[in-house]
Copies of this chain bind each other. A is one copy, B any other.
Amino acid sequence: MVRKPTSKETARKPNMREAILAAAEELFATNGFNAVSVRDIAQAAGANPGSVTYHFKTKDGLLLEIYRRHCGPMNLRRSELLAAAKRVRDLQDRLEAIVRAYVVPAFTSGSDLAGGGARFTRLRAVMSAEGNEVARKIIAQTFDDTSHAFIDAIHESLPHIPRTDIVWRSHFLLGALYYSLVTPDRVSRLSRGEADGSDAAGAIEQLVQATVAAFQAPALDQAAPARRRAVVSSKT
């Protein structure tokens, strides 16, 4: 606002760099990394293929920049919400608040960057499924700290549950979260139109409710596995 923009920040079209980032994010998130060509991205952004190379050097560089854009704000938001959640007195309410602090930023905008964090979360889900190397490196070193913070917080709310179980359950939470964003239509289809899989608020409520209950499940003791076959094959 105060300073005047230098030539470095000006561009012919409103903001071609941002348009390319947004187009790439959308296309990667819905089709995967390899299925999308640089030309596809350029066309969707109304740009020339050469512009992509100019701004991001390589296709990997473009993906890297998308991650850089979102990781910081999203983790910041999660940390803030987690800090607030930890101040909740009632243990049951606190657990729910912690889960919500983890889930909400993934569905809504991690920052205000062009329409929200749901698209970025979906992108992460797809990259994770594809085993994308660039994504794998950034994710491990960017999200593991936050994941540990949440696991620790949940563990404090449920001290009688082994940490291992908490890890598994939070892993399931992330999987459920990812899948909800990847194929929301499946929910609409299986519920025969009664539920809308694309409704973020509805998905959040369902996910939080189910996950809190999952975390509160009894600890998994080592004797349990022996029960498995007996229960399944029982005919009475």
Give the residues in chain B near A212, CB-CB below 8 Å: 217
* Nearest CB in chain B: distance from A158 CB, A: 12
Give the residues in chain B near A33, CB-CB below 8 Å: 35
Give the residues in chain B near A194, CB-CB below 8 Å: 163-164, 167
A169 touching B131 by the CB < 8 A rule? no
B148 touching A190 by the CB < 8 A rule? yes
Cβ of A114 within 8 Å of any chain B Cβ, yes or no, is no
Chain A: interface residue total (CB-CB under 8 A)? 82
Interface residue from B32, B172, B177 paired with A210 (Cβ < 8 Å): B172
Cα A106 to Cα B171 in complex, Å, equals 18
A213 touching B205 by the CB < 8 A rule? no
Within 8 A of B (CB), among A126-178: 126, 128-131, 140, 144, 147-148, 151, 163-165, 167-178
Cβ of A64 within 8 Å of any chain B Cβ, yes or no, is no
B231 touching A31 by the CB < 8 A rule? no
Report which A residues bind B (CB closer than 8 A): 30-35, 81, 84-85, 87-89, 93, 96-97, 100-101, 104, 125-126, 128-131, 140, 144, 147-148, 151, 163-165, 167-180, 182-183, 186-187, 189-191, 194-195, 197, 201, 203-207, 209-218, 220, 224-225, 228, 231-236
